[in-house]
Amino acid sequence: MSDRGAMLYEVLRHVRPLVLNSARVVEASLRGDGLSVGMRAVLEILAGHGPMTVPDIADRLDLARQGIQRHVNDLIALGCVEPRSNPAHRRSVLIAATPAGSELFARIRTGELDRLGRMAPGCTDEEIATALRVLGALNRDVRAEARSA
């Protein structure tokens, strides 16, 4: 039972259905606003870290820039996001959340936090913080393995 490999294996086994189920819940909430889960992720980055180029967003999300570009284009069409000319790089456009986009994301996030607050009632804050640390460390190492291959 003290085999860390086996325990991390169990973590990964838990993580996949969690992503699927949470995506289903989030997607249901988003449907009314015309957003997808991917678009929501992009909007989250922009709302949280300010204007950024498409390749930078892709790096943060561990995805190819081409896929992010699609989400950005869709978000522009919705008016949630807008391109801004970059004074330093004529070719590299900055993407920024519009006021409408920021407000929309704030509303989405508030609703999600509301629901999440009622979940996992048997877990203490410390336990959740520990889980966060473990997930961070595991993802860092798995990510390194994925990029080296």
Cβ at position 37, least distance to DNA in Å: 4
Indicate which single residue of 43, 45, 46, 53 sits in contact with DNA (rule: CB under 7 A). 53
115 binds DNA (CB under 7 A): no
DSSP readout, the chain?
---HHHHHHHHHHHHHHHHHHHHHHHHHHHGGGT--HHHHHHHHHHHHH-SB-HHHHHHHHTS-HHHHHHHHHHHHHHTSEEEE--SS-SSS-EEEE-HHHHHHHHHHHHHHHHHHTTS-TTS-HHHHHHHHHHHHHHHHHHHHHHHH-
Stretch in the footprint of DNA (CB under 7 A) among 6-14, 64-72, 101-109, 132-140: 64-72
Binding site for a copy of itself (CB under 8 A): 1-12, 14-22, 24-25, 28, 41, 61-63, 109, 112-120, 122-123, 125, 127-139, 141-143, 145-146, 149
